[in-house]
Chains A and B, each alone.
Chain A
Amino acid sequence: MSTTQERPTDTVEREIGRDRRRKEDQRLITGRTRWTDNINLPGMLHLAMVRSPFAHARIVSIDTSAAKEATNVVDVLTGADLGEALGVNINAWPITPDQVTPTHSPMPSDRVAFAGEIVAVVVARSAAEARDAAELVDVEYDELPAALDLKRAAADEILAHPDLGTNKSAYWVFDSGEAGTGGSVEDAIAKARTDGIVIEREYRQQRLIPAFMEPRSTVVDPTGEQITMWSATQIPHILRFALAATTGVPESKIRVIAPDVGGGFGGKLQTTPEEWITWAVARRLGKPAKYTETRSESLMSGHHGRDQWQKLTLAAEKDGTVTGFKVDLLADLGAYVSLVGGGVPVLGAFMFNSIYKFPAYRFAVQTVLTNKTWTDAYRGAGRPEATYAIERMMDELAAELGVDPLEIREKNWIKHEEFPFTTVAGLEYDSGNYEAATARAKEMLGYDELRAEQRRRRESGDRVQLGIGVSTFTEMCGLAPSRVLGSLDYGAGGWEHASVRMLATGKVEVVTGASAHGQGHETAFSQIVADRLGVAFEDVEVLHGDTQVAPKGLDTYGSRSLVVGGEALVRAADKVIEKAKPIAAHLLEASVDDLEFSGGRFSVRGTDQGMGIGEVALATFAAHNLPDGVEASIDADATFDPEAFNFPHGTHLCAMEVDTETGALTMRKYVCCDDIGNIINPLIVSGQVHGGLVQGIAQALWEEAVYDDAGTLVSGSFVDYLLPTAADTISFEIDHTTSPATTNTLGTKGVGEAGTIASTPAVVNAVVDAVRHLGVNDIQMPCTPERVWRAINGPGAGGSTTEAAMPHFEEGAGA
C-alpha cells in the first residue's frame, strides 16, 4: 500500500485556478462511454411509443390487436391497461396557491392535449420489431379545437383542457410598492408621461427547444431487490423522489443512475412520460425494458423553453434616469404544468431590474395552458428573458435620448462602491464592478473604432451596415437558498450534499449530489479537494450520478453545482481535517493545539515533526492505535445550503454586419468580460462561456419551434430546427474581472448560463443598431434575413414565421 504523497506548499502549484485538462475526456475521446442507450441487459425488451398526430383530440378507441400479433411483440399497452401503476408526472412548483394544474398522466386514455402525446406503448424483443408493430396500432381520434396561439389562449377563446374552464393557470405578481422594496411603478409612469420619457414595447421570446445532442433514453431493470432506472437525466435524485412519490414504490427500493449524459441545458431537468411508461412496463412484465427516443420524438415531446410575450413599460426622467419599470408577461406552459413549470418566469421576476438602481418595479406573469408541447427550463430559465427585456429597453431609451447605449446604462447602474446593494426586487447583490467589466469589454472590441466605422458606413449609404450591440447583465444563480425557494412555494430545497472518503490506499473518494452532464465536475471538484486536503489532483476520484453511490443530492441545473455543490465539498473536506487532527496529534504524541495543517500535512508547531493526511488515513484504516473514544473514520459528509444567491455579471459587446439588400447577417466580432468571481479552472470556464454564447446567439438568429395552425410542430427535425454549425459561428474573445462572491468560501459565482443570458440581447441590439437609421426599432427573434429585410423595407418587426417546412423528405422521395 502506498500513501498519498503530501505536497510541500512552497513547491506545489495551487490546483484552484489551474487550467487542468479534464479527467472525463479520456473515455469520451476514445468512445469508451456509457450512454443510457448503450446499456443492454439479458432479455431486455424494447419500447416504441404510439403518439398522437393531433394537438387536441378525444381518444375514441385504440385497437392493439394487429400489433399484438406482430413478430416478437410481447405486449401492447395503453393508459387504461396500466392504470394506477403508471403514476403521474408532477409539477414541483405551483407558483400560486390557486394555480390551475391539469392532471398529467404519462399516457392518457381519454384525451390527448398536444401532438406527440403518447397513447400506447409497444413492447417487443427488438427496437425494430417494436417500431414495426407501432405502425399497426389503430387509434381512432375525435379531433377537438386546439388552443395554439398564446394570446388567444390567454383570452380563453378555445380551451386546452375543457374541463378546467380556463387556460389561465396562475397569475403571479411582484410589486416593489407592495413589497416595500421600492416605490409605485404606476406613479412613476404617470409622472414620466407628464414630464419625462415613457418607452412602451412588446417583445416576443420565441419558443425554443433545448436540443441536447444525446436523445433521451431510459432503461429500467426490475429484477433484483431494487428496481434500477438508468436515464439520460440531469436530476437522478429528484427523479427517484418523484418515482417513489407517484408510483407507490418505496424510495429505498429505487436506484436511479444517470450514466454518461449527453448534455441537458435544462432539457433533462424533467421527469418524463417516457420514463414513467418504461418504469411501468418493466415492472408489469418483470423484464428489463429500454426506450430511446428518435430526434424527431425528442424535438416534439421533450420539453421546450421560453415562449413568452413581454409587455414592457419603462419610465425615465428626461436626462435618462430610469424611474420605474413595469413588466407584464404571458408565458406559454404548453399542455401541462411541467416540473418547474410556471417557476421559470418567476425565476426571471427578480432580474428585470438587472444591474440598475430603479426606484420602482412591478412584474406580473400570467401562465397559460395551450395544446402545444409543455415548456420548462432551458439554459438561463427566466433570466435570459429578463435580461433581453431590460437590455433591449435600455437601448430604446438611449435611442430616444440620442446618447450612447453604454452611457445610459452607466447612468443607471449600481456603482462598484455601492455594494452590497439591495435592489428594487429585494435581492442583496454582494459584489460586482460593472465599470471595470464594461471598460475591459470596450477595449477588447475596439468600441470607438467600430463606432467610427459605423458612422462612415451610414454616411456613405454602404450596402453593408454595421451595428454594435451592448448587453450588460447580472443573474441570480446557484439555486438556491432553501428558505427563498420555500417562500416562493417551490416543492424542494436548494442544498447540496458531499462526502469525502479517505481511502487506505491514499486515494480520496469524493461523492457529490450534483450530477454532471458535460460540465467537468470530476475535474473541477478534484481541484477543489486537492487544494483543500493537500493531496494530488490525480489521487482524487469524483463519484456522482447514482443514487446508491451518492444517496443525497439535488442534482445539476441553475448554475448551482460549483457554488452550492463545490461549497459542500469544501465543508466536507474541512471536516475530514478536523477529524484527522486528534488522530494525527495522538500518533505524533503532540497536543491538538500544537498541530497545524498545511499542504496536506499535519505538523507540530516549532518542530520538524509531522505526518501527511494520507498517513493518518492509513493509520485510521488500520485502527491499531487510535486515541480513546475516537471513531475509526476520518470520512466526512456535509450539506450546504447557501444563505443567498450569487450574482455574476458582465458586459458583452457584439458587432454585426447587415446586408441591407438581402437582410443577411454576419457576426463580425463578439467580446465579453464576465465577472464570475474566483475561477477554479479557466479552461472549463472558457468552454462554458463559448457554449453559452452560441446558444444565446442561436436564439437571436436561428432557432424557433414553429407550429402550424393544426398544432403540428413544423420545425420537427434538425432540417428545420436550425442549430448553428461551426461554419455559422466565429471565434470569441472572452475575459474576466474578479469580484469574489461573499456567499461561499471559494468566492465563486455560477458561469453555466452567463453566456446564454447576455448574448441574445447583445446580438439583437447590434442588428437593430445597424439599421435603426433606416427606421427600424425592433426585429422579432429569430432575426431571420427575411425579417431583417422586411423591417428595413416596411413597418413592423419583420413579421411572423411562415408555418411550413421545406419538403425534402416527403413521402415517396429519395434516391
Chain B
Amino acid sequence: MIPAQFDYLAPTSVEDALAALAEHGDDAKIIAGGQSLLPVLRMRLNAPEMIIDLGRIDSLRGVRDDGDAIVIGAMTPHAVVGSDPLVAEHAAVISKAVEHLADAQIRHRGTFGGALAHADPAGDLGAPALALGAEFVIQGSGGTRRVAADDFFVDLFETAIGEDEILTEVRIPKHTGWGAHYEKFVRVAHQWPIVAVAATVRVDGGAIAEARIGLTNMGSTPLRARGVEEALVGQPVTEDAVRAAAARATEGTNPPSDLNGDADYRRHLATVITRRAVLAAAGG
C-alpha cells in the first residue's frame, strides 16, 4: 500500500518536463492522472526513482476545435472529455466510451492522454481512438511528431512514445453526424471490459455508407476491425445484414484467456457485441 521511495518533479512546461526526462532517462516515469500508475506503485510492481508529474502543465489540458479535427490535450480529465460538446458533436464514440470508463472518481482524476499512453488493451479509449483514426502528437527534445493511431499501439502497455518523449495531445478527425456507440461487456460494473466494441457509422439513405470499428481487449493492443468495416459498407441497417458483417470481427484477433472468459468465448462475444454496437450506432 506504500510505494517505494522516489523523487518528484512537477514541471510547469512541456519543455521542462522533457528536460527532466532527458536528465533522468530510464529511472523516470511520467505520471499523468496516475489512476493506473499509482496502484502499480502501491503494490510495488514498479519502483521508478523519479516521478515527473505533468499535472502542473496547463497547456496540456482542454479540448479545442482545429478545423477538420478536434484536439484533446493529453492531460484533459476523462470527466471533462465526457462532457465536452465538441467531443459529443464530432467524436461521439469517445463520449460514449468515457461515460462508462472506470468510475466517477477515476474519471475526475484520470486523463485522456494518460489512459492512451498506458496502453492497456482492456482500456476503453484505444478502440475509439483507432476507430476515429486519431493522430497522436508526441513531443521530444527534437520537436513534435504525429503518429497515426494504427502505429501508436505497439504491444501490451507499449506505444510509439519514446522514452524521452511526451504525448501532448490527440487529434481526432471530425466525424460530425456519425452515429456512435460503445458497447462494453463486463461481469461487474467496476471491471475492465472483458470485450468492448467502439462503433461509429455514417448512415446514408438507410444504408451504411461508412463504418469505423475498434475492438477492446481482443489482443495485446486495441484493434481495428477492418473486415467488418468493409463488409458493412452499403449494407442496410438490418439485424441480418449487420450480423453477417460482424462475423468478421474475429479476424486478426488474439484475445486473452483469463478468469472472465477464454479466447474462444471472447471471439464469440466480439461478433455479438460488434453487431449490437453497430446497430445501436446506426440507430437500427
Contacts and interface: CB of A to CB of B under 8 A. Distances in A.
- Which of A706, A803, A804, A815: most chain B CB closer than 10 A? A815
A723 B258 contact: no
Contacts of B265: 786, 789-790
A785 interface: yes
A664 B122 CA distance: 19
Contacts of A294: 1
A135 B5 CA distance: 12
B37 A784 contact: no
A131 B157 contact: no
A643 B260 CA distance: 48
Q: Which 9 A-B pairs have the closest CB atoms?
A: A814-B37, A727-B189, A814-B40, A815-B118, A786-B261, A804-B258, A128-B2, A813-B157, A815-B114
Contact of B261 (A702, A706, A784, A814): A784
A722 interface: yes
Given A810-B157, A814-B46, A720 B259 contact: yes
Contacts of A720: 259
Contacts of B43: 296, 809
B45 A802 contact: no
A802 B258 CA distance: 5
- Which of A131, A662, A714, A723: most chain B CB closer than 10 A? A662
Interface string B25-58: 0000111101011111101111000000000000
B209 interface: no
7 contacts: A784-B187, A806-B122, A808-B192, A809-B39, A811-B40, A815-B32, A815-B36
A806 B256 contact: yes
Given A802-B259, A805-B258, A813-B120, A702 B188 contact: yes
B117 interface: yes
Contacts of B21: none
B273 to A, nearest CB: 8
Interface in A274-315: 294, 296
Interface in B209-234: none
Nearest to A811: B45
Interface string B186-205: 01111110000000000000
B4 interface: yes
Contacts of A806: 122, 192, 256, 258-260
Nearest to B5: A132
Contacts of B4: 132, 135
Interface of A: 127-128, 131-132, 135, 294, 296, 661-662, 664, 701-702, 704, 706, 714-715, 719-720, 722-725, 727-728, 784-786, 789-790, 801-815
Contacts of B44: 131, 135
Contacts of A725: 188-190
A751 to B, nearest CB: 27
Given A662-B185, A802-B262, A809 B45 contact: yes
Given A132-B4, A702-B187, A808-B122, 12 more contacts: A135-B44, A662-B268, A702-B188, A714-B259, A720-B259, A722-B188, A722-B191, A725-B189, A725-B190, A801-B259, A806-B192, A815-B114
Interface in B123-180: 156-157
B272 interface: yes
B257 interface: yes
B269 interface: yes
B2 A127 contact: yes
Contacts of A719: 191-192
Nearest to A727: B189
A346 to B, nearest CB: 32
Q: Using C-beta atoms within 8 Å of the partner chain, give the interface range for chain B.
A: 35 or more
A662 B269 contact: yes
A803 B260 CA distance: 10
B115 interface: yes
B30 A815 contact: yes
Nearest to B110: A815
Nearest to B30: A815
A453 B115 CA distance: 44
A132 B5 CA distance: 8
B184 to A, nearest CB: 12
Contact of A804 (B157, B190, B259, B272): B259
A548 B28 CA distance: 53
A121 to B, nearest CB: 16
A724 B40 CA distance: 23
B189 A728 contact: yes
A558 to B, nearest CB: 29
Contact of B272 (A662, A727, A786, A810): A662
Given A786-B262, A802-B257, A814 B187 contact: no
Contacts of A790: 265
- Which of A728, A790, A806, A812: most chain B CB closer than 10 A? A806
A725 B115 CA distance: 23
A661 B272 contact: yes
- Which of A127, A706, A725, A808: most chain B CB closer than 10 A? A808
A228 B191 CA distance: 41
B41 A814 contact: yes
Interface in B1-29: 1-2, 4-5, 29
B8 to A, nearest CB: 15
Given A727-B189, A808-B122, A813 B272 contact: no
A553 B261 CA distance: 47
Contacts of A803: 259
A708 B258 CA distance: 11
A744 to B, nearest CB: 40
B269 A814 contact: no
B257 A814 contact: no
B258 A809 contact: no
A804 B185 CA distance: 18
A664 B46 contact: no
A805 B259 contact: yes
Contacts of B156: 807, 810
Nearest to A215: B1
Contacts of A722: 187-188, 191
A813 B46 contact: yes
A640 to B, nearest CB: 42
Nearest to A706: B259
A547 to B, nearest CB: 30
A313 B43 CA distance: 47
Contacts of B2: 127-128, 131
Contacts of A801: 259
- Which of A131, A784, A803, A813: most chain B CB closer than 10 A? A813
A664 B117 CA distance: 31
Contacts of A662: 185, 268-269, 272-273
A49 B260 CA distance: 31
A815 B157 CA distance: 10
A30 B30 CA distance: 37
Contacts of B261: 784-786, 802
B185 A664 contact: yes
A786 B118 contact: no
A792 B53 CA distance: 50
A198 B176 CA distance: 65
A723 B189 CA distance: 10
A807 B4 CA distance: 21
B163 to A, nearest CB: 12
A272 B261 CA distance: 35
Contacts of A805: 258-259
B256 to A, nearest CB: 7
A815 B37 contact: yes
Contacts of B30: 815
B70 to A, nearest CB: 22
A728 B268 CA distance: 23
A704 B40 CA distance: 23
Contact of B36 (A132, A785, A813): A813
B31 A815 contact: yes
Contacts of B190: 725, 727
B52 to A, nearest CB: 11
A291 to B, nearest CB: 12
A782 B262 CA distance: 15
